[in-house]
């Protein structure tokens, strides 16, 4: 019988993902299962409620990518009711969106993924002078790089280790043979980990300016609740706009002078990971950052499209409203569809749980049966990957010059070809390259807003369709965005001024989905197949590939039984 490695939980945020990998005699993964072990009730809770309130519930699906569900939700309702928001609202939403993307990607690299490549305990062996020399070579424009700085930081880290309480660095595979960075690189990375931890709480001040708070900033159907008046103390004024600009400039500094240099430095020690973890080779992007309204995808800074089988010479069109394109299957999911159906478009989606798995706690799942609370979204029957790698590839394949610039630059500095993108390391690098674009676009969007204000346009919302008496008796709509983790879409059915049905398909549902009825693996599962493992008892290789997707399972499953009873209990230790 094949050896089976179980990692549960595998995420560093939202710990509701279980991975089971089956190894051959050479300790290479030949099959894998991705199981979402959590469900929630958001979609069911929304039924019967006022559509104008949906965003506030949806935004609380997750506190990590906290704005994206609100954005998709208000767009969903606006699409259903035929509302077109003012240009300033689109710009402010773009600023909120890009702020979230930059913050999330930096957090992912340093706090959720870097420790799969960086050996924290090894950093104690580093020579502070040699570390300073390395930092000057790798990141010469980052100010904190002196010998004294690294000596002090090493002393702080040593106190953690000597106390036996590693705190934020607890429960990892330190000393694993798969770690390849020299001690000085490890120390530099740990120090930047701590710098990023301090920085990330600053950039979200942009959300507090335009949305009132973070997490869960405020949105409104019809635009943004962001009153702007240059002379007022009770609205967004020039002082607050200057604060926003300062945070944007600092974000560009962090991305260009710390994140990207660290990313390329770490990647240079792991060239073999440019051939591991490629997975499906098919990618889907809804697109975002509109420049001419949400109804004109041709002007999106993140272009829309699908790439199949790594064919970068052909980008196929995507339509979230087309039932022939988007379907959610349940062949290996703990759900039930009526009349024997096995797949539905989200507008017809049904959230009816049917748990048939083993009684918890259990040692392993049966891959021939249902094994996840996640459904299996498919595009025209194809399993696809979503996320930063998908966006970079679609942008590159669409001929967008800014995408070609950052991709070509990174490949040249790493001395690898385009095929390296189809890998675990390529997926990790894509986040950094995307952050470079997002940080630059943040400044562009800010300047667009200032130009509009100087021209006398301070309108941020259109409320002429706010009153339900202006609505049709029945309507449907969808709202999409590109969350940091990938393509996100909400679908709504409004009837008699209330929500009749609401369905959400999130990035982690696309990527973490179980097999479908044709036996096609989801993106996580496919990416693990073929991965060699040095020590199955310390599965750092599994962590590297799964964490390269930045899994966040809170978004992926929103199930509650009609009567609210407990359907199963999974205790994770």
Widest CA span in the chain: 73
**Out of 333, 423, 435, 508, which one is annotated catalytic?**
508
The band of 52, judged by pLDDT with boundaries at 50, 70 and 90, is very high
Each as own residue / partner, the long-range contacts of residues 157-161 (CB below 8 Å, 24 or more positions apart, any chain) are 157/120, 157/123, 157/124, 157/187, 157/190, 158/124, 161/121, 161/124
Q: How far apart are CA 284 and CA 306, in angstroms?
A: 4
Q: How far apart are CA 484 and CA 481, in angstroms?
A: 10
Q: What's the pLDDT tens digit per position in 428-457?
A: 999 999 999 999 999 999 999 999 999 999
Q: Report the chain's mean pLDDT, rounded to a whole number.
A: 91
Distance CA 538, CA 517 (A): 32
Q: Is 191 assigned a catalytic role?
A: no
pLDDT at 119: 93
Tally Cβ neighbours within 10 Å of residue 380: 14
* Other beta carbons within 10 Å of 70: 27
3-state SS track over 497-555: CEEEEEEEECHHHHHHCCCCCCCCCCHHHHHHCCCECCCCCCCHHHHHHHHHCCCCCCC
| Catalytic (active site) residue 489 | no
Q: Is the dihedral of CA 542, 385, 508, 56 positive or negative?
A: positive
pLDDT band at residue 559 under the 50/70/90 scheme: very low
Catalytic residue from among 93, 108, 304, 485: 485
pLDDT in tens, 225-258: 999 998 888 899 999 999 999 999 999 999 999 9
Cα–Cα distance for residue pair 263/109, rounded to 1 Å: 8
Residues whose CB is less than 8 angstroms from the CB of residue 329 and which lie 6 or more positions away in sequence, other chains included: 342, 343, 375, 376, 377, 378, 516, 517
Distances (CA, A) of 470 to 119, 474, 496: 60, 12, 12
Taking the C-alpha atoms of residue 82 and residue 222, their distance in angstroms, rounded to an integer, is 10
Domains in the chain, please, with CATH?
Answer: 3-115+198-548 (1.10.645.10)
Q: What's the rounded mean pLDDT across residues 490-502? A: 96
Which residue from 448, 422, 550, 476 is spatially nearest to 105, judged by alpha carbons? 550
Catalytic annotation present for 391: no
The number of residues making up the chain comes to: 573
Confidence of residue 562 (pLDDT cuts 50, 70, 90): very low
Q: What percent of the chain has pLDDT over 90?
A: 81
Tell me, yes or no, if 16 is annotated catalytic.
no
| Distance (Å) of CA 58 to CA 54, 293, 347 | 6, 23, 17
The residue annotated as part of the active site, out of 58, 65, 76, 489, is 65
The answer to whether the peptide bond before residue 215 is cis (omega within 30 degrees of 0) is: yes
The DSSP annotation for 357-379 comes to: SPPSS-S---TTS--BSS-EEEE
Q: Which is catalytic among the residues 58, 76, 489, 555?
A: 555
CA 173 – CA 122 distance, rounded (Å)? 11
Active-site residue among 385, 482, 552, 558?
552
364 φ, ψ to 5°?
-155, 160
- Catalytic option among 12, 14, 105, 547: 14
* In contact, 303 and 395? CB cutoff 8 Å: yes
Out of 120-124, 292-296, 366-370, 549-553, least confident range: 549-553
Residue tagged active-site, from 12, 18, 43, 62: 62
Q: What is the mean pLDDT of residues 46-62?
A: 92
- Whether omega for the bond prior to residue 9 falls within 30 degrees of 0, making it cis, is yes
Residue 76 bears catalytic tag: no
């Amino acid at each position: 019988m094949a050896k089976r490695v179980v990692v549960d939980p595998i995420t560093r945020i939202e710990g509701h993902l279980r991975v089971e990998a089956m190894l051959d005699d050479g300790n290479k993964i030949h099959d894998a299962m991705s199981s979402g072990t959590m469900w929630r009730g958001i979609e069911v809770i929304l039924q019967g409620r006022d559509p104008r309130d949906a965003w506030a519930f949806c935004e609380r699906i997750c506190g990590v990518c906290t704005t994206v569900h609100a954005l998709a939700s208000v767009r969903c309702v606006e699409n259903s009711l035929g509302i077109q928001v003012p240009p300033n609202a689109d710009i402010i939403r773009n600023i909120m969106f890009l702020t979230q993307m930059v913050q999330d990607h930096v957090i992912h690299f340093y706090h959720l993924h870097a420790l799969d490549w960086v050996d924290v305990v090894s950093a104690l062996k580093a020579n502070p002078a040699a570390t300073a020399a390395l930092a000057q070579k790798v990141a010469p424009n980052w100010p904190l790089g002196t010998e004294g700085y690294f000596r002090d930081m090493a002393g702080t880290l040593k106190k953690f280790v000597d106390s036996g309480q590693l705190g934020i660095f607890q429960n990892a595979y330190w000393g694993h043979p798969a770690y390849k960075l020299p001690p000085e690189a490890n120390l530099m990375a740990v120090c930047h980990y701590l710098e990023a931890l301090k920085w990330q709480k600053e950039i979200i001040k942009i959300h507090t300016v335009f949305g009132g708070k973070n997490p869960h900033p405020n949105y409104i159907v019809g635009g943004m609740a962001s009153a702007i008046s240059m002379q007022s103390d009770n609205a967004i004024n020039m002082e607050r706009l200057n604060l926003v600009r300062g945070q944007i400039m600092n974000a560009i500094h962090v991305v260009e002078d710390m994140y990207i240099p660290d990313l390329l430095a770490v990647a240079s020690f792991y060239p073999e990971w440019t051939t591991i973890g490629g997975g499906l080779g098919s990618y889907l992007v809804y697109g975002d950052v509109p420049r001419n309204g949400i109804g004109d995808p041709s002007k999106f800074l993140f272009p829309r499209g699908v790439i199949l089988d790594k064919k970068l010479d052909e980008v196929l069109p995507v339509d979230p409203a087309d039932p022939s394109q988007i379907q959610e299957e349940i062949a290996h999911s703990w759900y039930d569809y009526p009349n024997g159906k096995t797949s539905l478009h989200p507008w017809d989606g049904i959230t009816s749980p049917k748990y048939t798995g083993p009684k918890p706690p259990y040692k392993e799942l049966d891959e021939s049966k249902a094994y996840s609370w996640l459904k299996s979204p498919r595009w025209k029957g194809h399993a696809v990957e979503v996320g930063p790698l998908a966006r970079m590839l679609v942008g590159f394949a669409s001929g967008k010059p800014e995408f070609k610039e950052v991709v070509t630059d990174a490949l040249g500095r790493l001395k690898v070809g385009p095929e390296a993108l189809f890998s675990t390391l390529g997926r990790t690098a894509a986040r950094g390259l995307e952050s470079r674009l997002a940080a630059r676009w943040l400044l562009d969007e800010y300047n667009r807003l200032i130009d509009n204000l100087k021209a006398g346009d301070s309108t941020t919302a259109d409320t002429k369709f706010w009153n339900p008496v202006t609505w049709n008796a029945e309507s449907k709509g969808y709202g999409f965005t590109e969350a940091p983790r990938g393509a996100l879409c909400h679908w709504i059915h409004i009837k008699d001024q209330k929500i009749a049905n609401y369905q959400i398909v999130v990035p982690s549902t696309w990527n973490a989905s179980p097999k479908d009825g044709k036996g096609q693996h989801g993106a996580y599962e496919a990416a693990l197949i073929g991965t060699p493992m040095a020590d199955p008892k310390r599965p750092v290789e599994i962590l590297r590939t799964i964490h390269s997707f930045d899994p966040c399972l809170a978004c992926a499953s929103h199930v509650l039984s009609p009567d609210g009873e407990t359907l199963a209990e999974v205790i994770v230790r």
